[in-house]
Chain A
Amino acid sequence: MKRQLIAIFIISVLFATSGCWNRRELNTLAIIMAIGIDKAPEDGKIKLTTQVLKPDEIKAPAATGGQGSPKGVWVLTSTGHTIFDAYRNATMQSDRKLYNSQTKVIVISEEMARAGVRPILDFFDRDHELRRLSWLLIAKGEAKDIIEAEHEQEKIPAQAIESLVTASGATSMAVTVNLHEFLKMLANKATDPFASRIEIIAEEETEKKAAKKPKPEESQQNGPRKRMRLTGAAVFKDDKLAGWLNRPETRGLNWILGKVKSGIIIVKSPKDENQYVALEIIRASSKIIPEIRDGQVTITVEVEEEGNLGEQMSDVDLTTPEYFDSLERRQATVIKNEIAAVLRKAQKEWGTDIFGFGDAIHRKFPREWKKLEKKWDTEFSQIEVKVKVISTLKRFGLHTAPAGTKRE
């Protein structure tokens, strides 16, 4: 018996140590960094643009000398009836099988987003290779342009987009939404989702603004170089794109959600209305308090903010109690205006509950919510939202007044 068992054991070990069945070596994989989803010109088809890593280019940057950095990625376009279909069709051009686990960025074009994203996103949540931590961005225009755009700092543009999103806390004028958060908002019956908005700004345009003429040979060779820029947020009604928020409105959304991390608030100097003062946001938090009285729903948004005097351009010492108080009030007004702007758009223009007000009511008043749930779509535009801003200024930096300011 014992010998038999040993024999079984040895045979089993053979099975267990022979390696993986479907092994995939690094040199047989095309590692996708970013994908863009567009509508294909053919009817009802999807165009998939994938940014595939070129490991060799990343490894040896010095080899090319002063020729300018070679692209670290290769952009591949394929079409298909579904996303999965398009992925597999890409293998017709790529000698390697597309590998999805490292995808950092998913960009969806405006056109696709307007038609609804639920059908698109199924694959990304079902397939085991992808993780829900990829960033989701909506392109104003074509997603392909975003995927093709280059970045001066990073060899892999996808990494640049990722950094753009993660670094956006410095202004709080963009949203950081990954697939996981987006799907959570989409699944929630009361809440409507939002995502980052990204667009292409041709370098030519920026250079014109700087009053410089582009060198003629260069622009002929490469055409205007494309640069991507985060420009706010895309707001959805259920799974369909309803509209865009610009940057201050996006910060308004972040105020309500308590997601403001840092940023600059620009106010006019209390002494000299032509000059600006920059107040740095140090920390902020928010509370959404729903109330129901006689069937009337009111939402109170309480925002607490703490800031520092970061910079001022007026010719006066602002570090007096009167001026500081005045700055605090101006600061609160700016915050209130930003919140009011996003509330107006969401409530009156689109009727999309991106703030989770309905969810807050559901959690606090489950019984009343049962009645409210069905008509929430229309009810949301009607409810009263009170905004309370408690904002304070704490510190003023290393000097009190600009050099040479007259004392009062």
Chain B
Amino acid sequence: MLEDGRITDRQFMLLIIVSRLILSLTYLPALNSPPENQDVWIAGLLSFPVHLLLAVPAYLLAQRFKDRSIIQSAELILGKTGKIIGALYVWFFLHMTALTLRQLSCYLTSVPYPETPAPVFIIVTALFAALAVGYGVETICRTGEIMTPVVMFSIFVVIILIAKDMDLKALAPMLEKGIAPVLHGALTIAARTVEILFVTMLLPYLNQPGTAKKAMAWGIFFFIFFFTIITVSIITTFDVEQAINRTFPFFSTVRLISIGEFLERIDAVHLGIWILGLFIKISIYYYLTALGAAQLFNLQDYRPIVLPLGTIIVSLSVLQAENMVELREFTSYKVWTWYALFFITFLPLILLVVAVLRRREVQAR
């Protein structure tokens, strides 16, 4: 086995939560997706069934090949063509790592460190992440187990502190543009949950594979819960018109906190928590890249390729977008939804259908 570590269903759930939730603490593209008004939180709630629906092919595929990741099972199902699909997934995880690193550096260079060159943050974080990847999945998941409650708690604290500035009137009128844009919004929110693919990669390392379904559903549920209170807090403090103009909506909300002129400027604490959470997200995608590449090329160990992959990740991270406008454009719902859906649902669905049709063949091997 490439990986000896085992993770619990609790760790798996917390990993899904932190990985999906953490970017919402700064970037919140859902506010600029349809319905683009005060109904975003409804779209968030409605995205729960959409999430589950999108996760079905990936989950069934993982269940069918319990000991294999999607990269290995693709090869098993499609042979040589499967290799290409496996390569696509390695690319996707690589891209996710690079993208997240870029988002980290974009935020850091926009707000707290405007004069520091972005590659500094990318390289330093990538080096730390490489270290985490070297220690394996168990270490990353345990870090996540410690950090995720901190992230969740800090969101709660922020919501309590900002509560006096919230004006729930801003949520009215509900469903102003009708239900269709809200459902579209639910789809775009669900399509950002790349964490669905964790099940296809990490199921072999769960110490109780049977609990994966429950852990996933709960992870998505908790994410949606926090997503909803975050969007509600932003919309009710800023109103819709201002909320959709924010570059970093939740961060702007945190900056508004001022209790009795002594409890204010807590954005630095928020920033620290965000970086810790984001570090876990970067590490796990980095890990999946390395693991996936090792499985693709049938290596004995994934560790020797961690640093070489890191050089690709860092360069891709810097090169993928000229500036923040391009980055925003790429992560906007118009582009990202379809790019992500291709990997989250479309490819697993194809693999699943072929696997079912070629059932005997698979068993014969």
Contact = CB atoms under 8 A, between A and B. Distances in A.
A366 B256 contact: no
Interface string A273-313: 00000000000000000000000000000000000000000
A115 interface: no
Interface in A19-68: 20-22
Contacts of A189: 241
A366 B176 contact: yes
Interface residues of A, number: 25
A261 interface: no
Interface string A171-207: 0000000001001100111000000000000000000
A184 B242 contact: yes
A12 interface: yes
Contacts of B258: 133
Contact of B115 (A5, A11, A22, A362): A22
Interface in A353-383: 362-364, 366
Nearest to B301: A1
A132 interface: yes
Contacts of A21: 113, 115-116, 120
Nearest to B112: A128
Given A21-B120, A22-B116, A128 B111 contact: yes
Nearest to B251: A128
Tell me if B's interface is mostly helix, strand, loop or mixed: helix
A44 B264 CA distance: 37
A12 B127 contact: yes
Interface centre among A9, A128, A183 (most CB of B within 10 A): A128
B131 A9 contact: yes
B315 interface: no
Given A5-B134, A8-B127, A21-B120, A188 B241 contact: yes
Contacts of B134: 1, 5
Nearest to B239: A184
A133 B162 CA distance: 13
B128 interface: yes
Contacts of A9: 128, 131
Nearest to A127: B114
Interface in B215-258: 238-239, 241-242, 245, 252, 255-256, 258
A5 B173 contact: no
Contact of A12 (B124, B239, B256): B124
B176 A11 contact: no
Contacts of B169: 363
A128 B304 CA distance: 42
Given A9-B128, A12-B131, A184-B242, 13 more contacts: A8-B131, A12-B124, A15-B123, A20-B113, A22-B113, A128-B110, A131-B255, A131-B265, A133-B264, A184-B239, A184-B241, A188-B239, A366-B173
24 contacts: A1-B134, A8-B127, A8-B130, A8-B307, A9-B128, A11-B127, A12-B131, A16-B124, A21-B113, A21-B116, A22-B113, A22-B115, A131-B255, A131-B256, A131-B265, A132-B255, A132-B256, A184-B238, A184-B239, A184-B241, A187-B241, A187-B242, A188-B241, A363-B172
Interface of A: 1, 5, 8-9, 11-12, 15-16, 20-22, 128, 131-133, 180, 183-184, 187-189, 362-364, 366
Pairs A-B, 9 closest by C-beta atoms:
A187-B241, A366-B173, A21-B116, A363-B172, A22-B115, A12-B127, A15-B124, A128-B111, A187-B242
